[in-house]
Chain A
Amino acid sequence: MDFTLNDEQQMFAETATTLFGDTCTPDHWRKMMEAGTAFDPDRWAQIVENGFTLLMLPESAGGLGLTELDFALIAQAAGYVALPEPLVESAGIAVPMLAALAPDHALLADPSAIIAIAPSANPVVASADVASAILLEKDGHAFLATPDKVTLTPVATIDPLRRVFRVDWNPANAQDLGPADWTLATDRAAVFAAAQGLGLAQRSVDLAVTYAKDRQQFGKPIGSYQAVKHHLASAQVAIEFARPVVLAAAASVGQQDVYSRARASHARTAALEAADKAARASIQVHGAMGYSWEVDVHLFLKRALALTGSWGTPAFHRARVATRLFNRPAGPDQTFAREA
């Protein structure tokens, strides 16, 4: 029993934090929003260069063969900058699914290829315009289609750094890869949404802390007032009690049982609630500034909102926890239980 991260994991995460921190600054966000784009080819090239797209690809297919836990740390760093590029969807969810179904597929040999993924639970698919291919769910099967074989209709979303599309497609024009493990994909999506949620939440708190130290009212920094302090402290509590769940969930995805599914759903619930709570606290602490487009807090609120509705609603994920709670023993000796 050991709940600590190893040096390699921490180093990988630090590399991601630095890369994202350097290239995904408020200036970048602004430029992208003005240009109306949600994809920066330069940043994507650096992401590829650092090996982040190979993380979840098995070594046999030329990848790094690392685990959900390793990837979750990258996803957390992505959340901290509200990363626009579809790293999580493509490298975290679509790539391992494609590798499981068609390990020799040519797309997997190209680390810069983006694979979008459209589970039937989602009404829209993110970043389909920049994808080399889209994985689509139908009757439990996964179909692979190139963007020219489907009809993509852009749909307006509140998140200015996300591009989403409705996909109209005909299975006759797509490659049927056979029955796919959409439950496993949902687990990964839940864990990585949760990890992004941790990053979103912490960024919201950090932005508010910086502002509250600086902004003066009644002759003092507003951060010296308890009402302000307590908003942010409560948000931090939510983060502290989501983080270990996210890490444990990421470490147990491979179990693929009722326990690991419940934990993934729990992680997602707790972390996205923390992200929402922190973003709202941050807006409140910024006052009217927080309500303005110029201050970046709204990006974190909006991303949390977007993630909360994708890959299953909160009710769907609560039901997965309920299934575990009401059909398996609960209690203090069951924290790390797994199906025999």
Chain B
Amino acid sequence: MDLSYTPEQQTFRAEVRHWLEAHVPAHPLEHFDATRAGFEAHRQWEATLKSGDWGMVTWPKEYGGRGLDLIQWLIFEEEYYRAGAPGRVNQNGVFLLGPTLMEFGTHEQKQRFLPPMASGEEIWAQAWSEPQAGSDLAGVRATAMRDGDDYVLNGHKIWSSRAVFADWAFGLFREPGSERHKGMSLIFFKLDQPGVTRNPIRKINGHVGFAEIFLEDVRVPAFNRLGDEGQGWHICMATAGFERGLMLRSPARYQVAAAALADLWQARKDTADPVLEADVVRAFMNAEAYALNIYQTASRLIAGAKIGPEASTNKIFWSEMDIHLHQTALAILGTEAELLPPAGQHDWLDDYIFALAGPIYAGSNEIQRNIIAERMLGLPR
């Protein structure tokens, strides 16, 4: 165990910081879920990131990355959040599909899909959930019928984040007649291609953050299938492991929020309820604990370990800590908690509302607790 950064890691941090200082937009961009303009501004930012080769630092150079390890990825993320850089509109691509493509994709698929993902030319949505298949994802009904070198896709997907404005989606489909975990495949389709209809759905903050997608005889080449036919469930679970265990939520995000909470407390403690200091300290400890846990995970993965069911503990921890942190902020704001802040000011309220989704998406926390109990602790199903 050595909890200090090497000189190379320190140089790397300085390099990231320097680049971000020169490139992060001076004014916050409009939210990518709010309007097409906001979405495109974020796409532009992804291109800027790519111009510095910062699209996804862990990918090999040939696919648009820098071939760095997970500790360097963490350092990059720390600097990224510290700099207040824009949210990653392509996070479904770079953080979820990307690692999965890296593991299961062919060389040709990686060459085709990763570089435009890293540059934001192609922005991805995840199309797994269906009206009848939420927590019980093995209940998906959307079908992929093989037709020569193509698949013909049909079905109804829902809650697909970013899908309103995104370019591509990776969806879960089944061979007609197959049941449950068998016969599923992970297949990519373009969101603007014939047969695809997407209807925006407004989230509780009013943004059109996700969409439902109808697919009617949508034809895609078999090249768009990731992994073997019928291997879709297995691949989805690998993606979900990355999502929950490591990449979806950077520790830095919560450390920045916890530091801002400490500032909020310092500014308001003369009038706020004194018992809240304990919650401010707890929010800080939680963010630190999450960071240390992720550093430990990164070290383990570098040493050759694989992500296992303990990924489910992460998802519960960050989602619950996020809610606690923002509840504390609103409690400090007290009588002003309900007021929408002036543009450009820290929006504790919107972040709180977003935090409430945490226990639902990426597999609800109830499902995560089932996974921990059954696969980590070995309790019967």
Binding site for B on A (CB under 8 A): 1-6, 69, 205, 209, 212-213, 220-221, 223-224, 226, 228-230, 232-234, 236-237, 240-245, 247-248, 251-252, 263, 266, 269-270, 318, 321-322, 325-326, 329-336
- Bound CA–CA A181/B77 (angstroms): 38
**Residues on the B chain within 8 Å of A232, using CB:** 373, 377, 379
Inter-chain contact B78/A233, CB cutoff 8 Å: no
The reply to whether B372 and A1 form a contact with Cβ atoms under 8 Å apart is no
Decide: A240 and B373 in contact? CB cutoff 8 A. no
* A233 CB, nearest partner CB in chain B, Å: 4
Question: Which residues from A are CB-within-8-Å of B295?
Answer: 1, 3, 244, 335
- Asked whether A2 lies within 8 Å of B2 as measured between CB atoms, the reply is yes
Q: Are A1 and B317 in contact (CB under 8 A)?
A: no
Residues A325 and B284 in contact in the complex (CB < 8 Å), given A224-B380, A248-B292: yes
Q: Please report the C-alpha to C-alpha distance between residue A321 and residue B258 in the assembled complex, in whole angstroms.
A: 13
Residues A242 and B82 in contact, CB atoms below 8 Å apart: no
CB pair B379 A234 closer than 8 Å? no
Q: Among the listed stretches B120-128, B138-146, B248-256, which one makes contact with chain A, having 4 or more residues with CB under 8 Å of it?
A: B248-256
Q: Give the docked Cα–Cα distance between A221 and B310 (Å).
A: 24
Looking at chain A's contact residues, the main secondary structure is helix
Give the distance to chain A from B71, nearest Cβ to Cβ, in Å: 5
- Number of chain B residues close to chain A: CB under 8 A: 58
- Show 25 residue pairs from A and B whose CB-CB distance is below 8 angstroms, ordered by the A residue: A1-B2, A3-B295, A3-B298, A213-B378, A223-B373, A223-B379, A230-B370, A233-B369, A233-B370, A233-B377, A236-B377, A240-B293, A241-B289, A242-B289, A243-B296, A244-B293, A245-B289, A247-B1, A248-B3, A321-B284, A321-B285, A331-B256, A335-B251, A335-B255, A336-B4
Q: Which residue of A lies closest to B9 (CB)?
A: A1
Q: Is B299 part of the binding interface, using a Cβ–Cβ cutoff of 8 Å?
A: yes
CA distance A225 to B288 in the complex (A): 33
Are A332 and B288 closer than 8 Å at their CB atoms? no
Q: Which residues of B contact A244 (CB under 8 A)?
A: 289, 292-293, 295-296
- The 8 Å CB contact of B79, one of A2, A220, A333, is A333
A5: B residues at CB distance < 8 A: 1
Chain B, interface SS category = helix
Q: How long is the Cα–Cα vector from A1 to B69 in the complex, in angstroms?
A: 12
The distance in angstroms between the C-alpha atoms of A190 and B381, with both chains bound, is 39
Kindly state the separation between the CA atoms of A247 and B291 in the bound complex, as whole angstroms.
13
Contact A69/B1 with A1-B295, A236-B372, A332-B255 known, Cβ cut-off 8 Å: yes
User: A269 with B1: in contact, given A1-B71, A229-B374, A248-B292 (CB under 8 Å)?
Assistant: no
Q: Is B13 among interface residues, defined by CB-CB distance under 8 A?
A: yes
Pairwise interchain contact A3-B296, C-beta atoms closer than 8 A: yes
B340-381 interface mask toward A, CB cutoff 8 Å, 1 = contact, 0 = none? 000000000000000000000000001011101110111111
A140 to B97, CA, bound (A): 59
Q: For the complex, is B307 an interface residue (Cβ under 8 Å from A)?
A: no
A335 touches B288 (CB 8 A): yes
Contact check, B82 vs A331: say whether CB atoms are below 8 A apart: yes
User: Do A252 and B3 contact each other (CB < 8 Å), given the known contacts A269-B285, A322-B277, A325-B262?
Assistant: yes
A209 partner residues in chain B, CB cutoff 8 A: 377-379
Contact indicator A332/B372 (Cβ below 8 Å): no
With beta carbons under 8 angstroms apart, the residue of B71, B262, B380 that contacts A213 is B380
Contact yes or no, A226 B370, CB < 8 A: yes
Against A, the Cβ 8 Å flags (1 = close, 0 = not) of B75-88 are: 00111011000000
Are B285 and A266 in contact, CB atoms less than 8 angstroms apart?
A: yes
Inter-chain contact A321/B77, CB cutoff 8 Å: no
Contacts of B82 in A (CB 8 A): 331-333
**A332 contacts B313, CB within 8 Å?**
no
